[in-house]
Chains A and B, each alone.
Chain A
Amino acid sequence: MLRHLMALLTLTLLALPLPAAAQTDPTAPDPIAGTSVDDGSATATGRQTLEDILARQRGEEPTNPIRSEDLGGDALNAPGMGPLGGASDADIWRQIRFNDADIRNTTLNPNGDVLMQTGGMWWENLRKNELRTYGGWLLLGTIAVLAVFFLIRGRIRIDGGKDGTLVLRFKFIERMAHWVLAGSFLLLGFTGLFTLFGRKYLIPAFGHEFNSVLLIGSKFIHNNVSWAFMIALIVVFVMWVWHNIPDRTDITWFAQAGGIIGDKHPPAKKFNAGQKIIFWSVIVLGVSVSVSGLSLLFPFQMPLFAHTFEVINNIGVPGWFGFDPLPVTLAPQEEMQFAQLWHAIVAFLMMAVILGHIYIGTLGMEGAYDAMGSGLVDRNWAHQHHSLWLEHLEEEKPGKIRTPAE
Chain B
Amino acid sequence: MKAMLSGFAAIIIIGVGAYYGLHMLDFSSQDVFSSPNVRLD
Binding site for B on A (CB under 8 A): 106-109, 112, 172, 175-180, 182-184, 187, 221, 223-228, 231, 297-299, 372-375
| Interface pair B22/A224, CB less than 8 Å apart | yes
A374 to B15, CA, bound (A): 26
Closest to B19 in A: A224
Of residues 1 through 33 on chain B, the ones whose CB sits less than 8 Å from some CB of chain A are 1-4, 6-8, 10-11, 14-19, 21-22, 27, 29, 33
Chain A nearest CB from B26 CB (Å) reads 9
Interface size on B, residues (CB 8 A): 24
| Interface pair A225/B3, CB less than 8 Å apart | no
A375 proximity list for chain B (CB < 8 A): 3
| Interface pair A179/B35, CB less than 8 Å apart | no
B21 proximity list for chain A (CB < 8 A): 227
A172-B2, A180-B7 are known contacts; what are 15 more A-B pairs with Cβ within 8 Å? Answer: A106-B37, A107-B38, A176-B7, A179-B3, A180-B10, A221-B15, A224-B19, A225-B15, A227-B17, A228-B10, A228-B18, A297-B22, A372-B3, A372-B4, A374-B1
Chain A nearest CB from B11 CB (Å) reads 4
| Interface pair B33/A109, CB less than 8 Å apart | yes
Query: What does DSSP make chain B's interface, helix, strand, loop or mixed?
Result: helix
| Interface pair B33/A179, CB less than 8 Å apart | no
Closest to B15 in A: A224
Known A112-B33, A184-B11, A187-B11; contact A298-B27, beta-carbon cutoff 8 A: yes
Known A172-B2, A224-B22; contact A108-B7, beta-carbon cutoff 8 A: no
Known A172-B2, A223-B22; contact A183-B34, beta-carbon cutoff 8 A: no
Chain B nearest CB from A372 CB (Å) reads 8
Known A107-B38, A109-B33, A177-B7; contact A373-B1, beta-carbon cutoff 8 A: yes
Contact of A108 among B11, B22, B27, B34 (CB under 8 A): B34
Closest to A172 in B: B3
Chain B nearest CB from A8 CB (Å) reads 60
| Interface pair A108/B15, CB less than 8 Å apart | no
A284 to B16, CA, bound (A): 27
Q: List 10 A-B contacts (CB under 8 A).
A: A108-B33, A180-B8, A182-B7, A224-B15, A224-B22, A225-B14, A227-B21, A228-B11, A297-B22, A374-B1
